[in-house]
A and B are shown apart, each in its own frame.
Chain A
Amino acid sequence: MSNNRSTIPIGPYHPLQEEPEFWKLIVEGETVVDVDVRIGYNHRGIEKISESKSFDQSLFIVERICGICSSSHPIACAQAIEDICDIEVPERALYIRTITQELERIHSHMLWLGLAGHFIGYNTVFMWAWKYREPICDIMETITGNRQNYAMHKAGGVRRDIEKEDVPYILTKLDEFLKQLDMLKGAILDDPVLHVRLKGIGVLTREAAIEYSALGPTARASGVDIDVRRDHPYGAYSKLKWNVITQKEGDVFAKTVVRILEMFESAGIVRQCLDRMPEGPIDSKPKDIPPGEGIGVIEAPRGECFHYIKSDGTNSPVRHKVRAPTYMNFPTFRETVIGQTISDATIIMAAIDPCYCCTERMAIVDTNDKELLKAEDLIRLSQEKTRKIKEGFGIR
């Protein structure tokens, strides 16, 4: 049957994605039979650079690993350093870390929701989600001074305090966001077209999720009940009331549900933190980093973010290993994409939130009839399928 096989190269560059990746889909007709991925186009050698910087500087370096997770990486790195030298972090700092973490989760999930909407032809969802994400970025700016790259965290505490007079503004904005999220949740989860479009595609079974050690919403949508916030308590999470959201199905719809419901939990966490935050210092000002090893884990929006640091007692780390959650979620593709149609491949790729699905420079290189499929075509195919389902429902 090899005659009927075509290769679809996707990537490595696309304006939508934050990171370039290169996909090779092997297809037979409409069905994907094999996948291969090539990454590294964005490899900046941050682990190597970190070895030549001081511990304080590494926090700024890791903040720039990802444009979305600019709170997750520094906290994980700070926790690894704190693990080496056993520093106690002041309670108020733990609450502030928790607040930035949850705000980051909300805006990351909103960003994903918008792009996922676009890929299946729901451009209204795209416009809404990105617009409603704005109040969260405004809150971030109020707390840290920046919408992204907060420079907020350091080993032993945080750099800036949350001012009392800012709290009412933060709560107003949060309320504004929640009202819109509630509407968005209804619009998405009660839409019969989306149920047909997203259910049962790209299923990651529970066994496969464990086998690949999948993380975060990707694992939780497959019924694997893990969440670093609860399992490896850090920040103020153990003192707050919130739920870990899980689903059983493992398909794209389940992943969407997990992310949407998680945003409500996150908003609840932020509110509780603002309510209960104790007064006090925000920085324990550690002096020297002794020789030793430390591990910091935190729950980033996409799953567990892992930092391992080895120190020899000097000013800079001997080794600084960074493992972002997508690194583990990515290879689950082999389970989810194979056997699906090309029109579903886009949304399945997007479903793990791989710092975005890449569809640029795509061409079906078919030796037989020289058919060419461009980037837009892949999105168009996906959108067309949604339109057909809509027509079946009598919606135009």
Chain B
Amino acid sequence: MTIDNILKNINDRFGDRVLKTEKKSSRRAYLDIYPKDIVDMARYIFKDLGLRFNIASAVDDFDRIEILYHFSYDPSGVIISVRAILNDRDNPCIDTITHVTKAAWWIEREMHELFGVKFEGNEDLRRLLLPDDWPNGVYPMRKSFVVPKRDSRRA
């Protein structure tokens, strides 16, 4: 499958549930979707088309939170990034894709603690990176979190 085949397959299957298709280059493409479609989309891409799950990354865009799910098709060296936009910045919420691929197990835990994104249906959202005594509700990768300055006098 070339990048065009992959994008055509996805667009044929999902129609207007794909909000925007952007082919950035011959090896990279970005798709915008509604958060509610992520499980169907991930299942189709991972299971049916057989792409590999690279990773997901949350992006704090000041007024909203985006989650990008990156999938790569190795035989032709293509990376497809599916972008789900969460407009409710105070309470971002999206369905888990851990039932589609176990590879998303850790990254969902990470996004949960660093960005405060809730993954519906994921029972294992324990902390992965942050220490146990880290305060609840403080999400260090949000833009609103400012790294405290170290007091040089007390060094």
**A contact set with B: CB distance below 8 Å:** 38-40, 43, 45, 47-48, 52, 83, 86, 210-213, 226, 231-233, 292-293, 295, 297, 304, 306, 308, 310, 318-319, 321, 323, 327-328, 330-331
Asked if B44 is an interface residue, CB under 8 A from chain A, the answer is no
Contact of A211 among B75, B103, B128 (CB under 8 A): B103
Smallest beta-carbon distance A338→chain B, Å: 14
B106–A232 touching, CB < 8 Å: no
- The chain A residue sitting closest to B79, CB to CB, is A295
Most chain A C-beta atoms within 10 Å of own C-beta, residue among B28, B57, B81, B127: B57
Which residues of A sit under 8 angstroms from B24, Cβ to Cβ?
292-293
Q: Which of A47, A295, A330 contacts B106 (CB 8 A)?
A: A330
CB-CB under 8 A from B9, the residues of chain A are none
Which of B54, B77, B106, B130 contacts A306, CB < 8 Å? B54
| A328 to B105 alpha-carbon distance, docked (Å) | 10
Residue of B nearest to A308 (CB): B57
Q: Which of A40, A47, A52 has the most CB of B within 10 A?
A: A40
The docked-state distance in angstroms from the alpha carbon of A38 to that of B126 is: 10
- A213 and B59: CB pair below 8 A? no
CB pair A319 B59 closer than 8 Å: yes
B78-119 CB mask vs A (1 if < 8 Å, else 0) is 010100000000000000000001110111000000000000
Chain A residue with the shortest CB-CB distance to B73: A231
8 contacts between A and B (CB under 8 A): A40-B128, A47-B141, A211-B101, A213-B52, A232-B74, A308-B55, A327-B106, A331-B106
Within 8 A of A (CB), among B4-57: 24-25, 27-28, 30, 52-55, 57
Contact of A295 among B28, B128, B131 (CB under 8 A): B28
B-to-A contact residues, CB < 8 Å: 24-25, 27-28, 30, 52-55, 57, 59-61, 68, 70, 72, 74-75, 77, 79, 81, 101-103, 105-107, 127-131, 140-141, 147
Once the chains bind, are B72 and A328 in contact (CB under 8 Å)?
Answer: no
Query: Is B70 touching A232 in the complex (CB atoms < 8 A)?
Result: no
User: Is there an interface contact between B55 and A327, defined as CB atoms closer than 8 Å?
Assistant: yes
**Chain B residues near A331 (CB, 8 Å)?**
102-103, 105-106
Whether A293 contacts B106 by the Cβ 8 Å rule is no
Q: Is the interface of A mostly helix, strand, loop or mixed?
A: mixed
Once bound together, how far apart are the Cα atoms of A297 and B55, in whole Å? 12
Q: Identify which of A40, A211, A323 contacts B54 (C-beta below 8 A).
A: A323
Q: In the complex, given contacts A39-B129, A43-B129, A213-B53, what are 14 additional A-B residue pairs having Cβ atoms less than 8 angstroms apart?
A: A38-B128, A39-B128, A48-B141, A48-B147, A83-B25, A211-B103, A231-B77, A233-B77, A295-B81, A304-B54, A308-B70, A308-B81, A310-B59, A318-B59
CA distance A47 to B55 in the complex (A): 15
- Which of B25, B127, B140 is in CB contact (< 8 Å) with A45? B140
CB distance from A166 to the nearest CB of B (A): 33
Residue pair B128, A213 in contact (C-beta under 8 Å): no
Measured between C-beta atoms, what is the minimum distance from B11 to chain A in Å?
20
- Contacting residues, chain B, for A318 (C-beta < 8 A): 59, 61
- Bound Cα distance A38, B59 (Å): 24
CB distance from A245 to the nearest CB of B (A): 16
In the bound complex, do residue A297 and residue B59 qualify as a contact, i.e. CB atoms below 8 Å apart? no
The complex places the Cα of A289 from the Cα of B52 at a distance, in Å, of: 29
Q: What residues on B are CB-neighbors of A211 within 8 Å? A: 101-103
> Least Cβ distance of B116 to chain A in Å?
15
Contacts of B74 in A (CB 8 A): 226, 231-232
Closest to A312 in B: B61
| Residues of chain A contacted by B79 (CB below 8 angstroms) | 232, 295, 297
